[in-house]
Amino acid sequence: MKDVEIARNVSWIGVNDRTTDLFEGVWPIHDVGVTYNSYLIVDRKKAVIDLSKAMKTDEYLGQIGRSVPIQDIDYLILNHMEPDHTGVLKTLRAVSPRATILGTPKLVAMLKSWYGITENVREVADGESLELEERTLRFFHAPFVHWPETMVTYEEKDGILFSCDAFGGYGAFRGAIFDDQCPDKEFYLRESLRYYANIVAKFSSNVLRAIDKLSGLSIRVVAPSHGLVWRKEPGLIVELYRRWAGYASGAPEKGVTLVYGSMYGNTEKMMNAVAQGISSTGVELEIFDVARAHPSYVLPSLWTRAGVMIGAPTYETNLFPPMEYVLHLCGLKKIHSRRYAMFGSYGWSGGAFKHTAENVEPLHWQLDGSFEFVGAPSDEDLAKGEEFGRAFATGIKEMH
């Protein structure tokens, strides 16, 4: 994809990735893609801000070379060390050895261990400025958004915030790179939430800290390293990130995520009865079969909704394994302080409830009720299940 000017002499020079199957080797993006946004500022001093994953290297270097001889680059500003933003670094360094690499002290240490690069590298202090001539950049350390070494770069003249992972999202470009040019903004917002729940959620307190730290800046363009460049509504993605980060400390939306698994259809039968009860209250409900839905898609619902209804059979006196994996990820992503209820079938002895309780104990989830049935649910069981769902959802609806 060819370079795009976002301000005079400031261009997007990134890579549009539609071939990677799994982001971080975990999260499916085969159907939506992702971008590695990189930016070039051509001033008396020339700077590249964030790079790209090691793919389409020729295309990436060509993007730079169209605007300026690559050997003339003065600075490589690395907001983040993760290889989706630095994969081309060794190649770029070989082509352009005089370019000084700038980053936080932690990034400088990481450069050595990841790439063996120690020469012509400079640490930047929190709040430090760099004059290119017409344009001035300022660096703000933003640790753990997403790794310990992360920072953001602010361009003062046009108020452009190069925020790297912060305010980013999945989704390859469909031609347009700007929020005001893209007819399917909802797609990018949905994929931003999925990206948040998959990648950023664990670091929500750091996200809030970074947003507060940047609140004094006049930000007119948010230029992250994944997804849309926000020039019409830069405040929209910042406020969404603030809202999503706030869900970490409570006050998520009054909705229910129903996660279930079923070996022979009995827990599924009960799931339908429970879902009828939930939906009769008007509370928003999303349902996932955890054996089939990738957790990448389940996590956004769990992140944003206050209620979790778990339907899982006992599996060899334990919890249905795909459910255990989802709960493990809830721990990893710090999905805390939800209300939950549980139902499920067992064949000869239970066990799923006990193991679920063990899994959610560190998450500080509040149990609102549970019931088990043996084998196939009777009509009486199903009626009980519907009422069980209704009561749980009513409790969510009436939460303060």
Which residues of this protein are in contact with ligand FEO, per CB under 6 A?
A: 80, 82, 84-85, 146, 165, 225-226
Amino acid at 28: P
- Beta-bridge partners for 370: 342
Residue among 310, 302, 309, 308 at smallest CA distance from 352: 310
CB of 165 vs ligand FEO, minimal distance in Å: 4
CB of 76 to ligand FEO, least distance (A): 16
Per the CB < 8 A criterion, the answer to whether 259 and 308 are in contact is yes
| Least CB distance to ligand FEO at residue 170 (A) | 10
Cα Rg for the chain, rounded, in angstroms? 24
Nearer to ligand FEO, 29 or 309 (CB): 29
Which of 331, 333, 400, 343 has the alpha carbon at shortest distance from 368? 343
Which of 36, 82, 81 minimizes the C-alpha distance to 63?
36
Shortest reach from residue 97's CB to ligand FEO, in Å: 25
The token pair at 33 is 């893609």
User: What sign for the dihedral angle of Cα 183, 51, 99, 92?
Assistant: negative
- Enumerate the β-bridge partners of residue 374: 346
Minimum Å gap between C-beta 393 and ligand FEO is: 36
Of the two residues 63 and 79, which places its CB atom closer to ligand FEO in the complex?
Answer: 79
Cβ nearer to ligand FEO, comparing 196 with 346: 196
Residue 147 or 178: which CB sits closer to ligand FEO? 147
The residue (of 109 and 357) whose beta carbon lies closer to ligand FEO is: 109
Q: Would you say 39 or 340 has its CB closer to ligand FEO?
A: 39
Q: What angle do CA 350, 302, 209 make, to 5 degrees?
A: 135
The distance of closest approach from Cβ of residue 23 to ligand FEO in the complex, given in angstroms and rounded to an integer, is 8
Closest to ligand FEO by CB, 36 or 154: 36
Query: Based on CB atoms, which residue is closest to ligand FEO, 203 or 303?
Result: 203
* Cα dist from 297 to 63, 289, 369, whole Å: 34, 11, 26
Q: How far is the CB of 36 from ligand FEO (least distance, A)?
A: 8
Question: Smallest gap, in angstroms, from Cβ of residue 238 to ligand FEO?
Answer: 18
**Residue closest to ligand FEO when measured from CB atoms:** 82
Among 324, 79, 81, 333, CA closest to 193: 333
Q: Are 329 and 299 in contact (CB under 8 A)?
A: yes
User: At its nearest, how many Å lie between ligand FEO and the CB of residue 350?
Assistant: 41
Which residue reads 């000084």 in tokens?
A: 100
The pairing of strands 339-346 and 221-224 is: unpaired
Q: What does the alpha-carbon distance between residue 224 and residue 208 come to, in Å, rounded to a whole number?
A: 16
Query: Which of 319, 293, 309 shows the shortest CA–CA distance to 386?
Result: 309
Q: Which is nearer to ligand FEO, 167 or 343 (CB)?
A: 167
Nearer to ligand FEO, 165 or 191 (CB): 165
Q: Is the dihedral of CA 180, 185, 191, 197 positive or negative?
A: positive
Q: Which of 88, 86, 18, 80 is nearest to 60 (CA)?
A: 88
CB of 10 to ligand FEO, least distance (A): 20
